[in-house]
């Protein structure tokens, strides 16, 4: 078969333009909706407000040590984008436990991360943040094999520096386009020289106080930080506890009020306080029983992000939030505990050294 000079020129031009066309196709496939909103794609991660679940792994309705009614798959499906957990070394396995694995064991970190990966694979335009409370001060290198086994290292963001100002974080769109949509913080022992995707929390984020039992105490005062709080991202701990037998436990009876858009002790009120004090909303809002309020926590986040909130059906509470309800499982359990408190405390069964963060 003979080729004319014109044919040869056309073929050569096509070969030259092929990489450019491929690049153009790639550019055209950039994310246009990020974490549910087109407006967030060009927004730095440090300029976005995320709803987070406090002790996201502590799920159940029959244990005072639980903080959520639904597992992390449902949490993510409903719109939660920060998952906080507490990791313990349980006989050589990193387990997610509430102070003691005998008190509340939420399973292994590997299983937890596998669930996160499965959900993220099915939702490719979502950025998720993990916050791990490293309660046993494990070195970062002990977490690496777990992240590798769960196949999340390839989607984990690696900034290359140990601390970043809120304004220097990449945009949600770029994290999605680059396939590094999982951002993970350790509250201690992070070392990016050995595990580059496990980032130090308090070099990058400051927090408000936690374990509050007074709904009037939610403010925007720095409680913990290892950096410049004027430029760091920040997190508000907006979950209310009650005191049972001298120890703070989640107050599910007030969850509708605590998670509300407005009113005394509400999530919306604390965000407004922070906007007044800091000149910007918080980046992360940790809550208990996120579904109480029928989506109110997501409405608060939308307002903080300056986007229009669109209500959608989410999970419904598994326990009544009315303190007068005789069907409130936690209220009934609290009463039972008060009856047998002396026996439980004296035998060391109930609390021991109970820390509720």
Quote the DSSP letter at residue 321. -
In Å, what is the CA distance from 70 to each residue of 57, 95, 134, 156, 318?
9, 18, 23, 25, 9
Instruction: Take residue 355 and report the two structure tokens written for it.
Output: 């820390």
| Residues 6+ positions from 61 with CB-CB distance below 8 Å | 69, 318, 319, 329, 330
**Strand-strand pairing, 82-90 and 93-98:** antiparallel
**Cα–Cα distance for residue pair 185/197, rounded to 1 Å:** 8
Instruction: Mark whether 88 is an active-site residue.
Output: no
Separation of first and last alpha carbons in the chain: 76
**Cα–Cα distance for residue pair 316/293, rounded to 1 Å:** 9
**Cα–Cα distance for residue pair 104/107, rounded to 1 Å:** 9
Count of alpha carbons within 13 Å of 288, Cβ hemisphere only?
A: 31
Residue 68: other Cβ atoms inside 10 A: 27
Instruction: Mark whether 238 is an active-site residue.
Output: no
- Catalytic option among 43, 45, 53, 54: 54
Rounded to 5 degrees, what are φ and ψ at 86? Answer: -125, 120
Q: Tell me which H or E stretch contains 183.
A: strand 182-186
**Cα–Cα distance for residue pair 81/126, rounded to 1 Å:** 8
- Catalytic option among 43, 88, 98, 117: 98
Torsion of CA 45, 47, 137, 353, to 10 degrees: -130
Own/partner contacts of 274-279, CB < 8 Å, gap of 24 or more, are 274/220, 274/234, 274/236, 275/304, 276/220, 277/220, 278/220, 278/234
Instruction: Take residue 144 and report the two structure tokens written for it.
Output: 């690496």
Beta bridge partners of 51: 285
Q: Write out the catalytic residue numbers.
A: 54, 98
């Amino acid at each position: 078969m003979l080729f004319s000079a014109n044919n040869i020129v056309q073929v050569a031009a096509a070969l030259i333009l092929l990489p450019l066309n491929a690049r153009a196709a790639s550019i055209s496939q950039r994310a246009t909706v990020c974490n549910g909103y087109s407006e967030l794609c060009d927004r730095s991660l440090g300029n976005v407000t995320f709803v987070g679940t406090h002790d996201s792994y502590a799920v159940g309705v029959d244990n005072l040590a639980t903080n959520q009614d639904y597992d992390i798959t449902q949490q993510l499906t409903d719109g939660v984008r920060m998952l906080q957990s507490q990791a313990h070394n349980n006989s050589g396995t990193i387990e997610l436990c509430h102070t003691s694995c005998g008190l509340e064991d939420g399973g292994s970190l590997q299983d937890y991360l596998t669930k996160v990966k499965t959900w993220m694979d099915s939702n490719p335009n979502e950025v998720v943040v993990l916050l791990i409370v490293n309660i046993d001060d494990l070195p970062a290198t002990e977490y690496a094999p777990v992240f590798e086994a769960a196949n999340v290292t390839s989607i984990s963001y690696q900034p290359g520096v140990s601390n970043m100002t809120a304004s220097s974080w990449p945009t949600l769109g770029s994290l999605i386009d680059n396939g590094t949509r999982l951002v993970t913080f350790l509250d201690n022992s992070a070392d990016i020289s050995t595990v580059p995707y496990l980032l130090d929390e308090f070099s990058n984020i400051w927090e408000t106080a936690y374990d509050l039992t007074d709904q009037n105490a939610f403010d925007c005062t720095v409680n913990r930080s290892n950096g410049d709080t004027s430029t760091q991202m920040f997190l508000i701990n907006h979950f209310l506890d009650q005191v049972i037998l001298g120890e703070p436990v989640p107050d599910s009876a007030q969850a509708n009020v605590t998670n509300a858009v407005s009113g005394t002790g509400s999530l919306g009120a604390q965000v407004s306080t922070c906007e007044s004090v800091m000149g910007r909303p918080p980046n992360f809002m940790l809550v208990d029983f996120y579904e109480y309020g029928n989506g109110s926590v997501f409405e608060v986040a939308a307002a903080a992000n300056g986007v229009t909130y669109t209500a959608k059906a989410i999970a419904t509470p598994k326990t009544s939030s009315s303190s007068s309800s005789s069907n409130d499982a936690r209220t009934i359990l609290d009463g039972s505990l008060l009856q047998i408190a002396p026996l439980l405390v004296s035998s060391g069964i109930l609390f021991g050294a109970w820390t509720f963060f």
